[in-house]
Amino acid sequence: MTSLFKNYVRTLKLYNVLGLVSGCLIITSLLFPWWRIVVEGRPGTNVYPYVISGDASLILGYERTAVMIVLTCILVACVALCFVGSTLKGKKGKTMLGAVGIILLLVAVCFIWRISTHCELYRVPMQGNIVVMGFTVTTGFQVGLYLAILAGCLCIISIALHEKIKISRSQ
Q: Is residue 3 part of a domain?
A: no
CATH code assigned at 102: 1.20.140
Residue 82 lies in a domain: yes
Residue-wise pLDDT for 50-107, tens only, equals 888 887 766 555 566 788 889 999 999 999 999 999 888 889 988 999 999 999 999 9
**Per-residue pLDDT at 159:** 86
Which DSSP letter does residue 170 get?
A: -
Predicted TM-score (pTM) of the model is: 0.85
Domain range for 75: 10-168
Residues in the chain: 171
Question: If you average pLDDT over residues 123-130, what whole number do you get?
Answer: 91
Q: Which of 51, 65, 44 minimizes the C-alpha distance to 139?
A: 44
In the structure, what pLDDT confidence band is assigned to residue 5 with cuts at 50, 70 and 90?
low
Is residue 151 in a domain? yes
Other Cβ atoms less than 10 A from the Cβ of 29: the count is 26
Query: Could you read off the pLDDT of 27-52 as tens digits, one per residue?
Result: 999 999 999 999 888 888 999 998 88
Q: What pLDDT is attached to residue 99?
A: 96
Q: Rounded distance, CA 164 to CA 27, Å?
A: 25
Tell me whether residue 4 is in a domain: no
Q: Which residues of 116-129 are buried (b: 16+ CB within 10 A; e: fewer)?
A: eeebeeeebeeeee
Domain count, the chain: 1
Whether 147 is in a domain gets the answer yes
pLDDT value of residue 59: 59
The amino acid that residue 39 corresponds to is: V
Q: Is 5 a domain residue?
A: no
pLDDT digits (tens, 9 = 90+) for 131-169: 988 889 899 999 999 999 999 999 999 888 776 765 555
User: What strands, in cross-sheet order, belong to the sheet with 45-47?
Assistant: 52-53, 45-47, 35-39, 135-141, 128-132
Q: Is residue 104 part of a domain?
A: yes
pLDDT of residue 165: 63
- Decide if 70 contacts 131 (C-beta within 8 A): no
pLDDT higher than 60, residue 1? no
Separation CA 66–CA 50 (nearest Å): 10
Greatest CA separation for the chain: 68
Residue 171, pLDDT above cutoff 50? no
